[in-house]
A and B are shown apart, each in its own frame.
Chain A
Amino acid sequence: MEIIKNSNVNNSGRNKKIHINNNIILLIIFVVLFILFSVFSKGFLTYYNITTMFRNLVTTGILAIGLTPLMISRGIDISFGSTISLAGVVMALLYSNGVNIFLSMLVVLLITAFIGLINGILIESFNLNALIATLGTMSIFQALSLVFTGGYPIGIMSDSFYDLSFNSFLKLPIPVWFFIIILILYYFILNYTAAGRTIYIIGANPLAAYSCGINFKKIRIILYMFFGLMVGFAAIFTAGFSGSGSPYSGTYMLLPALSAVLLGGIGLQGGSGTIWGTVLGVMITSVIMNGLLNAGVVPSLIQVLQGILLIVIVATYEVRSKKKVAY
């Protein structure tokens, strides 16, 4: 007990020092950005803007937190943007055809979880490159959501649906409560359970995991399914904030969520990274997007910066990891 407590290793056997250093850097970056935007951008520190930023943060955050265990275990899923669009569209269609709003939400959650399951089964059974395979499913679901709507958003006129996204419980909006609960849940599972340790092992060295008797394919499929479930929740809140199901609602959520997870230290090669890193990554990307939007930057230019940011993040981590490797 003494040895573990005094060493640089935490409960899950991972090196504490690197992650604490990384997270401190991210926290500093966030604080600096927040201060910069507050000082130089009028209207950034208003109640309206902060709540808007929080709404964005919640949806990106749910996606990023759901993506974290998946990417730690060396899986990835970039089809979630189109899945969100499809889910929103299906929910709107169901509701406008008379289905109870809560039943519609449940059906949508089942659908997105099922989509996650299908993604996982396809990728793991056929040993597909997850990036390319989910690229394929991304185009399929995007086309499907356009088929169902013809390109136009479908409004959802439901009071209880509005209440779900805009009401507050003890001064915090319900979506923020959901985000906090999910965060605590994922933090606990990843850091204090055997399941969480297994996820890290699968990502760090799949062959070693297999030798230990861990069926990493099956576990990854389950992680894909849970990610699908999180995508469903994100879709519900996205549709709730905009009041409609749009076939383009999820397209612009792909890059922020992916950048947030990569920024937080979850590499593409998996096996490392913490949930706090992801949260900090989400905070940083949300503050950047919101701050730029508030400063009057055109959305298309923000998209350019999102693309550049993604490349810069991955490049930075790549260069950093190269420096550490000794030949």
Chain B
Amino acid sequence: MKSITNKSFLSKINPFTSYSMSPTLIIVYILMLAIIGIINPIFIHLKNFQAIATGAPLIGIVAIGMGVVILTGNVDLSVGSIAGFTGIIVAELLFLTQIPAIIAIMIGILAGIAIGAINGFIVTFVGVNSVVSTLGMWFALSGLSFTVAGKAINFHNPGLQKLGQGYIFKVIPNIFFIMILILIIMYIVLRFTQFGRNIYLVGSNGPSARVVGINVKKIQFLAFLFSGGFAALAGILLISQVSFGSSLFGIGWEFKALTICVIGGISLNGGRGTFVGLFLAWIILGSLQNALTMANIGVNWRDFFEGTLLLLAIIIDSIRAGRRGVT
């Protein structure tokens, strides 16, 4: 059966000439499995995949939220501090009161959505640059977390613990399942609903979208609600894993989420990229973290490595954008 396009195989996996990053990412992951698997066979073991699926889904959820914002052409740098702050709120609620866990979770997610709404309001209706305003929100929330929670807030809630530490079918961690669920739902929303199409239209060409009748500001505002809500969910899942809340949670998450999004093909110019690429990028980065940890490389060297990856991803994204004639 002849191929639909005339592109050669090599041009499809070359990140600079291919339409989507996904083929490249698949090849990279296969290579990674092969190379690291030879150096350290534990890497390919099922237990190791389970370990990755226990630690990494939190940042994946944050990345999904951030991905929606980046698709509309903005950036949300406050997701890390939103996760930490809402985690503290929920931990404090469960520590001080006896309300059911589900209520506390909903309050936490609503808090995240509210903060996202503030972000969205500043960016869309006041018109401030999203990087600068979410930068300010990041520092403000981080300072607020430190002010509110001097030390760790311990709480005891078996229901929440089962959520964070539990497994489905004894093998798949709960949080991995949640992340996959969110991923599938968001993918369907982006691909098959008018709202999803509007997001892509707003991101790729805002003025044209407005001419066609799409309320650009509303779409951009709603995107921030997603990033805030998902960041809050991730923060709550984190505290449910360890049964305490701390102002140190969520630090650095914005960089990791940004790296996942950009490597996954979601262009910083907006309107380009799918969550398939995001998922693949998440797998690659999660496995990379896992491999580096197993190789006993310190956390600071890992952060340095991830920072370099972020820069590299931004450069590749910019080259791809230049090739298709944006900016």
Contact = CB atoms under 8 A, between A and B. Distances in A.
Contact of B311 (A78, A122, A302, A306): A122
B95 interface: no
Which of B135, B143, B301, B303 is most buried by chain A, counting CB atoms within 10 A of its CB? Answer: B143
Contacts of B252: 139
A131 B133 contact: no
Contact of A143 (B126, B132, B300): B300
B128 A315 contact: yes
Interface in A115-173: 122, 126-129, 131-133, 135-137, 139-140, 142-144, 146-147, 150
Contacts of B310: 136, 139
Contact of B322 (A122, A127, A150, A303): A127
B194 interface: no
Leading 5 A-B pairs by shortest Cβ distance? A307-B140, A303-B143, A140-B307, A300-B146, A143-B303
Interface of B: 75, 77, 122, 126-129, 131-133, 135-144, 146-147, 252, 255, 258, 268, 298, 300-301, 303-304, 306-308, 310-311, 314-315, 318-319, 322, 327
22 contacts: A128-B318, A129-B318, A135-B255, A136-B314, A139-B303, A140-B311, A143-B303, A143-B304, A143-B306, A147-B300, A258-B132, A300-B144, A300-B147, A301-B143, A303-B139, A306-B143, A310-B132, A315-B126, A315-B133, A318-B126, A319-B127, A322-B127
Interface of A: 78, 122, 126-129, 131-133, 135-137, 139-140, 142-144, 146-147, 150, 255, 258, 262, 268, 298, 300-311, 314-315, 318-319, 322
Contacts of A315: 122, 126, 128, 133
A300 B311 contact: no
Contact of A126 (B137, B142, B255, B319): B319
Given A78-B135, A122-B311, A307-B136, A132 B75 contact: yes
B311 A307 contact: no
Contacts of A146: 300, 303
A140 B308 contact: yes
A48 B170 CA distance: 64
Contacts of B147: 298, 300-301, 304
A262 B128 CA distance: 12
B132 A307 contact: no
Nearest to A148: B300
A143 B146 CA distance: 21
Contacts of A302: 143
